[in-house]
Amino acid sequence: ETGVTQSPTHLIKTRGQQVTLRCSSQSGHNTVSWYQQALGQGPQFIFQYYREEENGRGNFPPRFSGLQFPNYSSELNVNALELDDSALYLCASSRAGAGSNEQFFGPGTRLTVL
């Protein structure tokens, strides 16, 4: 069984640029959630995708957007990068209907904005 994978592992961008992060969900999972983890903080929920549609969103501005594809993989896009966007971005997959809300996390993408 393949776990959750994310790419790239590290990324450096400059302020104002745009970035796309990618996530492949675990086999059998149909839901993907994205979290932002700033240095020294707990992960914060960005949004969740189920059946290719956004299914809940945290307190993040519209310049954070996402997609889910028919194979349940997902992308997180961030436009007009700001210095405060520097963080570890975690993707988690899960299976709706499993009854436990357990989410399986990938290793994360470390984004640095200069």
Binding site for another protein (CB under 8 A): 4, 33, 35, 40-45, 48, 50-51, 55-56, 58, 90, 92, 96-108, 110
**Cβ of residue 108: shortest distance to another protein, in angstroms?**
5
Is 10 or 70 the residue whose CB approaches another protein more closely?
A: 10
CB atoms within 10 A of CB 58: 14
**Cβ of residue 76: shortest distance to another protein, in angstroms?**
15
Is 13 or 110 the residue whose CB approaches another protein more closely?
A: 110
**Cβ of residue 16: shortest distance to another protein, in angstroms?**
27
C-alpha 111/C-alpha 114 separation (Å) is: 10
Task: Quickly tell me which residue has 């393949």 as its tokens.
Answer: 2
CB 108 within 8 A of CB 86: no
Task: Quickly tell me which residue has 């104002």 as its tokens.
Answer: 16
Instruction: Specify the 3-state DSSP secondary structure of 85.
Output: helix
**Cβ of residue 77: shortest distance to another protein, in angstroms?**
19
